[in-house]
Structure 1
Amino acid sequence: MAENPTAGLTQEEDEEEVDYDSDGNPIAPTTKKIILPLPPIDHSEIDYPPFEKNFYIEHEELSSLTEAGVVELRKKLNLKVSGAVPPKPATSFAHFGFDEQLMHQIRKSEYTQPTPIQCQGVPIALGGRDMIGIAKTGSGKTAAFIWPMLVHIMDQKELEQGEGPIAVIVCPTRELCQQIHSECKRFGKVYGLRSVAVYGGGSMWEQAKALQEGAEIVVCTPGRLIDHVKKKATSLQRVTYLVFDEADRMFDMGFGTCEILVHLTSDLWSLTALLFSATFRKKIEKLARDILVDPIRVVQGDIGEANEDVTQIVEVLQSGQEKWGWLTRRLVEFTSAGSVLVFVTKKTNCEELATNLNQEGYSLGLLHGDMDQSERNKVIADFKKKNLPVLVATDVAARGLDIPSIRTVVNYDVARDIDTHTHRIGRTGRAGEKGVAYTLLTTKDTSFAGDLVRNLEGANQSVSKDLMDLAMQNPWFRKSRFKGGKGKKLNIGGGGLGYRERPGLGSEPTVSLALRLLA
């Protein structure tokens, strides 16, 4: 206090007051706070020791549960779960395998049985898998990431003088920050673990002092953590467990969560990362895709945006020449079910395919970017009226085309990226109607195959052996599968996120995560 007599009494100059609505939710400011980037760091020069992150052993009661029993149990718990090989939901604290110290504190805190999000989320986090948890406040998600976090921390090497935290929990507001910090202290004291709350409006000096003394857990708002890293009050090199809580609100409030990511630790492939959100909007999906590896998505309650009315079928063909035969053999069957939309990538391919189909006697419309608006409008109107049963189009039709009569989408050429693919297949399965989306891949599409596997798993769709075999031919997908690329360090500098060259594997293109997320 002698050094800083105003500690805790005044609002920091660089902080903005946050207003709250009648429900206590933060109101998004009209102008977003600009957070200057952190200094670049080259992780390839740092030797990160290996660590264990899978502590989950399936209880014998769960091992005997059949697949049908699991489906019924999730239905009873009102859970929608998708992703690669998710663990079975654990319905009892005994299933988690916690030691008596932690169980004593859980009982003392008056928990009688796990909530639905805890039933599914705790086994995922204990197993070291990445997770997207979509659940509203009051669902018990805080404990779902704190309990596995304690198990994770206790297995890591003890903090040495000057080292930063092992676990970082990022949230949008100081109130939520204090609330989570309180829970971390309550359960962390069982093992003598230290937690520090770092948020705007609190004293920088006091927070810095607590960080420098050492804490295994940091609960923070992103802007204030970035400030402390800049001032070298802490380091993120020991972080192996990362949580983003209420990520949708952080984006609404304009916080630069990506800045923490590009300065993070070791290796996002081996990090345990959990992202919680009340919604699953595009920005959340983009963040999730960049920081999570083979995540399991858990939706608790009647929220989320997964379209279960579209069935995706992927056909792996040996060459592009086989596509024509595949399409002409099935087009009559497709048109008998309803309107058909066929996507191709380039305008010239679009015209060529339309001409060939016309010559075969099919009635169809053509839509691409070089047509003037009146031509486009006429084609779309005829397609809507079902005067044209088939529409061959480029990606100008991928967004915004709302025609409930479309029963079949055919991706004759693969989309340029997985976002466009998602928009394409969304042209069917609208207004409660069922739809089917076919995607034609050739043996050259190894890179897209990996993205498609994750897209299908995220939508709870089946992945064929042919597709998985094709995806496994891609070194990046093969190494990252279930975080198999352990020890593959990130090489981050100047706010970009990229991968180092690995002998015999080449490298993936650098992704400027900060620019992409802030765009």
Structure 2
Amino acid sequence: MAKREFQDRDSSELRAKKKSKSDKHTKTKTHGSDLKAQETRNTEPAMLDDVSQADIERFFTENSVQIKDTLQGDTNPDPILEFSHLPSCDSGLYQPLDSFTSPTAIQSATWPLLFTGRDLIGIAETGSGKTLAFGLPCLKKIQDSTKKRKERSSQPMAVMISPTRELAMQIHDQISKFAEPVGIKVACIFGGVKKDEQRRALQTAAIVVATPGRLKDLQNDGSVDLGKVKYLVLDEADRMLDKGFEQDIKDIIRPMPVSKRQTVMFTATWPPVVRDLASTFMTTPVTVTIGGEPSADPRANTRIKQIVEVVKPHEKEQRLVQLLNQHQKGESKSDKILVFCLYKKEAVRVERLLWNKGFKVAGIHGDLGQQERFRSLEAFKKGDATVLVATDVAARGLDIPSVKLVINVTFPLTVEDYVHRIGRTGRAGADGHAITLFTEVDKAQSGALINVLKAAKQEVPEALLKFGGTVKKKQHGAYGAFFKDVDSDKTATKILFDD
């Protein structure tokens, strides 16, 4: 396939080439009132001269890719199926891509849009390569902007917000592999550590990766000015809203320029609250969905084999030891297994049990200090520990390579957390395996779990079906199980009393 050409609108030669191919390619439409679309789109959609239409159609079909674009209508840009089709770059920005074979589905589908400056909402499963999907266009935008001005601004040009410090660190590490060789500074900002070192990092950072709470604190005390941000990313947006960060996000975004800012949002689910947030600060965004129609319901990665075992509560820890012995023997002795517990004390007890049984085990939960959590994660990543016992603090966003199996000792409080727990395996196109120990205590979640299993075409055990398939209404964040969802538009009924 020929190399993809990204056409600079200031190039008369390429404009002529674009015009000659107008019968084969659809140009991006702009609306007179859409100031941002006119100002930020500094390149035209990518065009590939001799791309096979069969390959393109196969890509969209096999990955269940759906693109909804109010500007382009039903016309979608060709996906970037090879790294050689990326926009030309005269620096070493793309060199780290040599360690990858080809783009993931979310990268292939979103890059043609992100490199042309479009606002975008990406909906995809965990472990799909989202960080690089939004990371490379961000770095290219900063490079191009710096060349035009011949010097970099002292204020951050890009902000990437994530719900947890672990995910922020992960994004920082992956972005830094591409940023450092081309001289772009990246700062990682999160709570739980002293602010002074973070303030120093902000003085030279072009990209800020942060959790909402700490970034807002530093913004309020004048340590960072976000008035020149041109690229904004919200990663795991649904999770941030679950955690109640909506107001913090709005406060952080308020000083950022509107017309010249490109905004990118990635989310695993598409509930109304996420849609409402997107509508408040994005301009004619493109919605790219990998794996089917956007849904408000959680969906598990279909490559993960899910097994649910219904057991008695007192049998769980004995069964856990049996499973670990079964899956860590022979050639699989060093396989990485992630074990999830619901509560911190439970995680400590299970970790101690496994240590006494001779397993190479580490733990990560809220009672551990930041450095202890870092050490546990590093030990697990390097293989010094082959079993990591975690609470849900580690369930979202962490990219731990080659996790072969996830075991849920205790079912989480919501089925959304279940989906994100098991999403630690089966990442980056690999197959995964998850085993869940389900008890009568968890029966309120049986209906939602059954729906997740059915949607992923997994076997539903008879013992689980006996708990019932009704999906319980989610608790309200402020009022808990006592919350009653009422129709606020309904006229109140007058109550009359006899004299």
TM-score, length of structure 1 as denominator length: 0.45
**Comparing both chains, which one has the higher relative contact order based on Cα–Cα distances under 8 Å and sequence gaps of 6 or more?**
1
Query: Greater CA radius of gyration, 1 or 2?
Result: 1
